[in-house]
Amino acid sequence: MKRLVKLFGFIILLALVAIGFLFYQQGFYKKWFSTKDKNKFVWGIDISHHQKNVDFDQLVKENKPAFVILKSTEGKSYVDDAYLIRLHKFRELGIPVGGYHFFNYDVSGKLQAEHYIKTVGLRKGDLYPILDVEMKHSSTQSKQWIVKEIKAFCELVEAKYGVKPIIYCEYDYYRKYLKEEFSDYQYWISDFYREPRCKYVMWQYDILHVEGVGSIDNNRLAEGVKLEQLILK
């Protein structure tokens, strides 16, 4: 009898674990968490062509973001095929929107900046320009090259828009490549495990369910930072 009780208890435990895992996989936990938590701060999302279906009406009705960041360009020629359509749509909805450039380590910063400026089409009321730099593939170049080319990109973009671009990266990348040479820049830091360990204006803090889009990157402004500070005048 005792063996049957233990076996029955073990089966129940396995069932509860399986149900919990299913809920997590389907995003129910993340949906609850994002709905509960995002109202405590200035909350926004970033999306690209990977999010193929965006229901703009549902997004605005259920969980309207304070800002949206779109992937615009990469390297010297790539353009995200959803960028321009979504840029205009979010402007129509009155949501501050911007575009980021994904840095390529096989192309000079100058060529990448020229491509970004030609394509992104930022104007008054949009978010500051943004450069996305990531650790993947960075080992193909020396630190000296990386610093030099990121600086070339940023200087051209600043000359165009009159502001330094916000730099997106993880903390380890910031510490390795940017901490000394780019100390006067504003940072959008990605860290899904803890609050960033450096000064930042935006924090990509988790992948959570967002109505109208699905499971995507969620972002928040740093405490004390106002959205108006990050918008082109």
Give CA separation, 79 vs 52, 56, 121, in Å.
15, 22, 12
Neighbours of 101 (CB within 10 A): 27
- The structural domains of the chain, with segments of one domain joined by +, span 1-38, 41-230
Contact 100, 116 (CB under 8 A): no
Amino acid making up residue 98: G
pLDDT digits (tens, 9 = 90+) for 191-213: 999 999 999 999 999 999 999 99
- Main-chain dihedrals φ then ψ at residue 157, nearest 5 degrees: -65, -40
Contact 90, 62 (CB under 8 A): no
Q: What is the DSSP string of 34-92?
A: HHHHGGGS-EEEEE-TTS----HHHHHHHH--SEEEEEEEETTTEE-TTHHHHHHHHHH
Residue 40's pLDDT is what?
81
Enter the tokens of residue 204: 């990509």
Superfamily of domain 41-230: Glycosidases (3.20.20.80)
Mean pLDDT of the chain: 89
Task: Round to whole Å and give the CA distance between 219 and 65.
Answer: 10
Enter the tokens of residue 19: 């149900």
**Residue 139: band (very low, low, confident or very high) from pLDDT cuts 50, 70, 90:** confident
Enter the tokens of residue 76: 């010297």
Q: Tell me: pLDDT of 18 over 60.
A: no
User: Counting beta carbons within 10 angstroms of the beta carbon of residue 107, is it exposed (0 to 12), middle (13 to 18) or buried (19 or more)?
Assistant: middle
Closest CA to 157 of 218, 217, 72, 66: 72
The 10 Å CB-count burial string (b at 16+, else e) for 132-164 is bbeeeebeeeeeeebbebbebbbebbeebbeeb
Task: Round to whole Å and give the CA distance between 126 and 205.
Answer: 22
When pLDDT is averaged across residues 169-174 and rounded to a whole number, the result is 97
State which H helix or E strand residue 174 sits in: none
pLDDT digits (tens, 9 = 90+) for 26-65: 444 344 344 456 668 999 999 999 998 999 999 999 999 9
- The more confidently predicted of residues 22 and 216 is 216
Give the percent of the chain with pLDDT over 70. 83
Task: Round to whole Å and give the CA distance between 203 and 199.
Answer: 10
Q: Tell me: pLDDT of 13 over 70.
A: no
